[in-house]
């Protein structure tokens, strides 16, 4: 589903469901398009597509949330997390600043993600205006239920979708990390996902009111970028288990 108002994109979402649930899910997507915080849609596009290939079933990332965010600068948090997978401070902070200054060559946000070579910081996505879009992914009903139970009052639609997306992305061969900052001026919670650790939820990842954001997928040297893009843009993936939610101090998370 894609919804816009006066030509401006306001929300989008995708689902993978059994045929028997299509009606109900289409209804809930329409509902959602009308009630988005960025305004009510005046144009909604819904596309339905039969999935020919059996989806790959994978577990979600384990989710952590930093409980003592205020004790640290965002630069410290970002750089120390990326160091855990061997990405140096200069590289992670350069990417962080790029996302916050409009990562497209025209200075706007991208629709998709940058691909960054972890050793050099070089951008590898073929189209830097658009970026690479991860699609064809969803929670199963039971995994979504566990996610909602575990996250309780901290559950948000953005949070859920980000965990689904990042679980698929980190499952891709060659990808070792992801950085994400919402482009919604009011949504300041972002995350860093690391291979071997999981999804680390970070409050105040940007200043309130900032209209920039974006995503970066970090790959190992000599990764076949075409294969990565093909997997992210085409392979259907269902997250069939939720791996847990842990609220902990930053130092504790770093020690996992």
* Stretch of residues binding ligand WAQ (CB under 6 A), selected from 25-33, 80-88, 140-148, 188-196: 188-196
> Radius of gyration (Cα) for the chain, nearest Å?
18
CA dihedral 93, 94, 97, 103 (to 10 degrees): -140
> Contact, 100 vs 181, CB < 8 A?
yes
State the nearest-atom distance from the C-beta of 237 to Mg ion, in Å.
Answer: 21
The answer to whether residue 65 forms part of the interface with Mg ion (CB under 5 A) is no
Question: Which ranges constitute the DSSP H helices of the chain?
Answer: 22-34, 74-83, 89-99, 141-151, 157-170, 225-234, 250-255
* Stretch of residues binding ligand WAQ (CB under 6 A), selected from 49-57, 81-89, 108-116, 223-231: 108-116
How many residues can be counted in the chain?
A: 256
Size, binding site for ligand WAQ by CB under 6 A: 26
The answer to whether residue 183 forms part of the interface with Mg ion (CB under 5 A) is yes
**Taking phi first (over 0 means left), then psi (-120 to 50 degrees means alpha), and beta for anything else, what does residue 228 get?**
alpha
* Stretch of residues binding ligand WAQ (CB under 6 A), selected from 45-53, 85-93, 132-140, 246-254: 132-140
Structure tokens at 177: 């990390």
The answer to whether residue 231 forms part of the interface with ligand WAQ (CB under 6 A) is no
State the nearest-atom distance from the C-beta of 186 to Mg ion, in Å.
Answer: 10
The answer to whether residue 181 forms part of the interface with Mg ion (CB under 5 A) is no
Binding site for ligand WAQ (CB under 6 A): 109-113, 131, 133-135, 156, 158-159, 162, 165, 180, 182-184, 187, 189-191, 201, 213-215
């Amino acid at each position: 589903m894609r919804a816009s108002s006066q030509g401006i994109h306001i929300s989008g979402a995708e689902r993978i469901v059994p045929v028997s649930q299509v009606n109900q899910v289409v209804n809930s997507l329409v509902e959602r398009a009308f009630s988005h915080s960025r305004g009510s849609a005046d144009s909604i596009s819904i596309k339905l597509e039969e999935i020919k290939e059996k989806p790959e079933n994978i577990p979600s990332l384990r989710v952590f949330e930093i409980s003592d965010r205020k004790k640290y600068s965002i630069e410290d948090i970002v750089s120390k997390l990326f160091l855990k997978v061997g990405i140096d401070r200069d590289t992670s902070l350069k990417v962080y600043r790029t996302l916050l200054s409009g990562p497209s060559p025209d200075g706007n946000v991208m629709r998709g993600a940058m691909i960054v070579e972890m050793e050099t910081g070089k951008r590898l996505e073929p189209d830097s205006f658009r970026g690479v879009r991860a699609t064809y992914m969803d929670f199963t009903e039971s995994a979504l239920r566990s996610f909602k139970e575990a996250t309780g009052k901290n559950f948000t639609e953005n949070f859920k979708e980000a965990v689904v997306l990042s679980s698929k992305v980190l499952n891709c061969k060659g990808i070792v990390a992801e950085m994400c900052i919402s482009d919604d001026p009011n949504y300041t919670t972002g995350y860093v996902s690391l291979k071997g650790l999981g999804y680390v939820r970070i409050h105040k990842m940007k200043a309130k009111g900032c209209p920039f954001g974006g995503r970066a997928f970090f790959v190992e040297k000599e990764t076949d970028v075409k294969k990565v893009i093909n997997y992210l843009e085409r392979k259907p993936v269902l997250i069939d288990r939720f791996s847990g939610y842990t609220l902990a101090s930053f130092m504790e998370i770093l020690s996992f």
